[in-house]
Amino acid sequence: MSLLEVEGLSARHGLLNAVREMSFSVADQQVVAIVGANGAGKTTLLRTIAGAHPAAGGTITFDGLDITRMPAHRRVREGIALVPEGRRLFSELTVEENLRVAGRRARPGPWNVGSVLDAFPMLTPLRDRRAANLSGGQQQVTAIARALMTNPRLLIVDEVSLGLSPTAVDTVYAGLGRLRDAGATLILVEQDLRRALSFAGHVLCVLEGRVVLAVPAGDLTREQVTEAYFGLQSSEPR
């Protein structure tokens, strides 16, 4: 049974078609990595799923519910959380306040300020620091922690390891692993292919707004993915 069903989804920026009739589905408790070159439309796709960008066509179904026109904040209540590109923390709020804002209307679940800080111990000394004064990596971790506070069933992370030091990447993936093990579904954009292929069960390659490859991660070689990046392979139906 698939948790997320995307049918013929399109999204535009003005005249530019950033997402063109994409169709794919994500099963419950699956981990999907989305890869693709700069400007392929990954961010736009994720934002459309989370409701931060309007769909120009097609449908998005979440757990049997058509959410194509649902506003973003309601999708959060249904269990979709997005870690947006560029972190987008509330800059004047402290780290803890950032977490609490997200926790206020959260679905019930295991994540709260305490458990999130346990999962990302590097945040504990930063609790009372204003988000604007964090380093790039610290912001990235806070953004992921904040998304967890909503207790998502589907967590979408755009550029997971961007700006993270190697140890921080390990911590973050450990946290995501715990989430996966607790039964959540994950969609990640990750440019570190090795990571992506080892962590994700499925890989979705996006090229110029289209899904060109959608296969289980185990069946995939780096070469196949690289080819898909540059469009050398004819698109396969999922």
Partner 1 sequence: MNWINAVVQGLLLGGLYALFACGLSLLFGVMRIINLAHGDIAVLGAFLVWSITTRANVSPLLGLALALPVMLALGYALQYTVLARSLRGGTLTPLLVTFGLSIVIQNGLLQAYSPDVRSLGGSAGTLSTGSWHLTAQLSIPYLGVLTLATAVLMLGGLQLCLRHTGWGREMRATALDSDTAALVGVPASAVYARATAIAVGVATVAGTFLAVHSTFDPSSGPTQLIFAFEAVVIGGLGSLWGTLTGGIVLGVAQTIGATIDPQYSILAGHLDFLGILASPRGRSLITRSTT
Partner 2 sequence: MSKAIPAARALTGRGLSKRFGDLVVLDDVDFSVVAGDAVGIVGPNGAGKTTLLNLLAGSLRPNAGTITLDDQDITTTSPATRCRRGIGRAMQIPRPFAGLTVLENVLVGASYGAGLRGQHAYRHCAEVLDTCGLIELANRRADSLGLLHRKRLELARALATGPRILLLDEIGGGLTDAEAVDLVVTVRKLRERGIGVVWIEHIVHVLVQAVDRLVCMDAGRIIADGDPQAVLSDAVVVDAYLGKAQ
Ligand X SMILES: Nc1ncnc2c1ncn2[C@@H]1O[C@H](COP(=O)(O)OP(=O)(O)OP(=O)(O)O)[C@@H](O)[C@H]1O
Q: Could you list the residues that contact Mg ion (CB under 5 A)?
A: 43, 85, 135-136
**145 touches partner 2 (CB under 8 A):** no
- From the CB of 71, what's the least distance to partner 2, in Å? 23
- From the CB of 93, what's the least distance to partner 2, in Å? 17
Tell me whether residue 44 or residue 151 sits nearer to ligand X (CB atom): 44
Q: Which two tokens stand for residue 221?
A: 């070689």
Of 97-105, 109-117, 166-174, 212-220, the segment contacting partner 2 by CB under 8 A is 166-174
**35 touches partner 2 (CB under 8 A):** yes
Contacts of 52 by beta carbon, 8 Å cutoff, 6+ apart: 72, 82, 84
Of 37-45, 55-63, 86-94, 222-230, the segment contacting ligand X by CB under 6 A is 37-45
Of 61-69, 93-101, 105-113, 154-162, the segment contacting partner 2 by CB under 8 A is 154-162
**167 touches ligand X (CB under 6 A):** no
Tell me whether residue 111 or residue 173 sits nearer to ligand X (CB atom): 173
Of partner 2, ligand X, Mg ion, none, which one does residue 141 interact with (CB within 5 to 8 Å by kind)? partner 2
Enumerate residues 104-143 that contact partner 1 by CB under 8 A: 104-106
The DSSP result for the chain, as a single string, is: -EEEEEEEEEEEETTEEEEEEEEEEEETT-EEEEEE-TTSSHHHHHHHHHTSS--SEEEEEETTEE-TT--HHHHHHHTEEEE-TT----TTSBHHHHHHHHHHTPPSSS--HHHHHHH-GGGGGGTTSBGGGS-HHHHHHHHHHHHHTT--SEEEESSTTTT--HHHHHHHHHHHHHHHHTT-EEEEE-S-HHHHHHH-SEEEEEETTEEEEEEEGGG--HHHHHHHHHT-S-----
**Site of interaction with partner 1 (CB under 8 A):** 50-52, 71-74, 76-77, 81-82, 84, 88-93, 97-98, 100-102, 104-106, 146-147, 149-150
**Site of interaction with ligand X (CB under 6 A):** 13-14, 16, 18, 36, 38-44, 129, 133-138, 163
